[in-house]
A = this chain, B = another copy of it.
């Protein structure tokens, strides 16, 4: 039997702030990497007792409701921010200022101005930074991207799709995201529309240059339950004891846009689409081939041809392009899911902390800023009822 000294110098130590739905997803994804230790768990909004239970379950040695303490801890290499949106900037800013590497959930900030500050600060401090646009890292999304990079799609003519959910359909559906001072001025476009746009720009390699958006808030007020509930958790709630609150963030939006030199596109985002649990669908039409992907069947990819049979790939690393293959950990037909996209992002992010020579192959703060520019353009376009140019 060979004893291996745990090479603690090589191991990355991360403090995770935020213990809600996505915080737990991050926690699991980090643990399965094997080379990263979650050394502390912070909560900005939940009670300390429940955070302690979580930490105890997962063997995390430190817990706090004071995130400053985590950031000041010399032993911490990196901070992972999973709090409600409005806290992203103060936590990330402080962590950057202390020279920590930072991974932050999206949206990076509630304004592009704040996001721009974080981008600049990360550059100044020369630390690793990541905005968690994890959906890019489904193996099939990478396959689309690598096909485009290899020229297999030809020139991109049109991009279209939707991100549709139903968890905020009813007036009685509630979540912290409803309230703009926790969430920022845009809800549906920032929360899920930004995933769609990030994927569209990532896969096509082009930027949206102008857009015309029409946002709609169907429920001008919503009924807030008196006790706190989890993201996605409201569906099991009993319809009792609500208070009426003004809903100042959009329930859905439709956008037509222009991209690159002459690509055209459109998409919708909605949190009020009955029956659509979490459907990000994207179609990209090129002069040579097309691709279409649906996040509810993530291991499949449709490839459209004009003069040959269409193809439908079931994920099989042996059939993926070489550059996409490393995003698939399992053999053909063994499904990989939502949790696995976090693993792919985190593996690359934390490896890049271990090894300064690695070029970042994950979404940066700059990508988070980019999405905020688009969200702001959508808000402006909808407000003025007309087209809006987008900074590129």
Contact = CB atoms under 8 A, between A and B. Distances in A.
Given A58-B34, A63-B2, A289-B274, A256 B214 contact: yes
A332 interface: yes
A125 interface: no
Nearest to A38: B34
Nearest to A304: B275
B31 A34 contact: yes
Contacts of A318: 235-236, 307
A44 interface: no
Nearest to A165: B333
A380 to B, nearest CB: 14
Nearest to A299: B296
Contacts of A329: 339
Interface stretch (A179-187, A196-204, A263-271): A263-271
This protein's copies in its complex: 4
Interface stretch (A93-101, A108-116, A309-317, A356-364): A309-317
B264 A252 contact: yes
Most buried by B among A4, A40, A300: A4
A343 B48 CA distance: 27
Interface string A20-32: 0100010111011
A206 to B, nearest CB: 15
Given A166-B306, A309-B319, A4 B35 contact: no
Interface in A33-60: 34-35, 40, 48, 52, 55-60
Given A31-B34, A385-B387, A332 B52 contact: no
Interface of A: 1-7, 11, 21, 25, 27-29, 31-32, 34-35, 40, 48, 52, 55-64, 66, 69-70, 73, 157-158, 160, 162, 164-167, 169-170, 212-214, 216, 218, 231-233, 235-236, 252, 254-256, 258, 262, 264-266, 268, 270, 272-279, 283, 285-290, 295-300, 302-316, 318-319, 329-340, 385-387
A329 B338 CA distance: 11
A59 B9 CA distance: 12
Contacts of A296: 299, 314, 333, 335
24 contacts: A1-B64, A1-B70, A3-B62, A4-B56, A4-B62, A11-B59, A35-B57, A157-B270, A157-B272, A158-B270, A169-B306, A212-B256, A231-B331, A235-B318, A273-B283, A274-B286, A274-B306, A277-B316, A278-B331, A278-B334, A297-B300, A303-B309, A330-B337, A336-B339
Nearest to A51: B2
Contacts of A264: 214, 216, 252, 254
A332 B232 contact: yes
A61 B306 contact: no
B61 A331 contact: no
Contacts of A213: 256
Contacts of A333: 165, 276-279, 295-296
Contact of A273 (B7, B158, B166, B312): B158
